[in-house]
Amino acid sequence: MLQTQTKFFRRVALALAMAFTMASLPIVPASAGMIATDQIITQSQAAEARAVVDSFMARDEVKQELQALGVDPAEAESRVGTLSDAEAVDLAQKIQDLPAGQGAIGAIVGAAVLIFVVLLITDLLGFTSVFGFTNKGSANPS
């Protein structure tokens, strides 16, 4: 009796173990064939966005802003590399929307928006926590 039970539990355990193993295997989307045009465009969009973000991070006033926040610009730059494609595209959009304003008012607004974007980046990278909606580490990321 006891032996049959043990056998039964062993079988269940084995089945469970197999089920878990299968569930935890990465889902491999790869199949032989043509890579679709939409995917190619998305990939190059992401690459462009990363270039925009990188050149933004390389700007002197951004580095100053990061330093003022106590963030090592080099460390920030290397963390930017971990952004997802979607995050990079989002961020690049915000950077490109920065007003290139002339004159005193434009400069002030420009500085405020610059700080806004820098804070957004440092939030995304986990240096600061100003904007709730970035929240990278959440169990329910969006």
Binding site for another protein (CB under 8 A): 28-41, 43-45, 48, 96, 99, 101-103, 105-106, 108-109, 112-113, 116, 130-133, 135, 140, 142
- If the CB atoms of residues 24 and 133 are measured against another protein, the closer one turns out to be 133
Query: Least separation, in Å, of the C-beta of 40 and another protein?
Result: 5
Structure tokens at 105: 């008012």
Number of Cβ within 10 Å of residue 118's Cβ equals 24
Query: Least separation, in Å, of the C-beta of 46 and another protein?
Result: 8
Q: Give DSSP secondary structure letters for 53-72.
A: HHHHHTSHHHHHHHHHTT--
Query: Least separation, in Å, of the C-beta of 37 and another protein?
Result: 4
The 3-state DSSP composition of the chain as helix, strand, coil percent (nearest 5) reads: 65, 0, 35
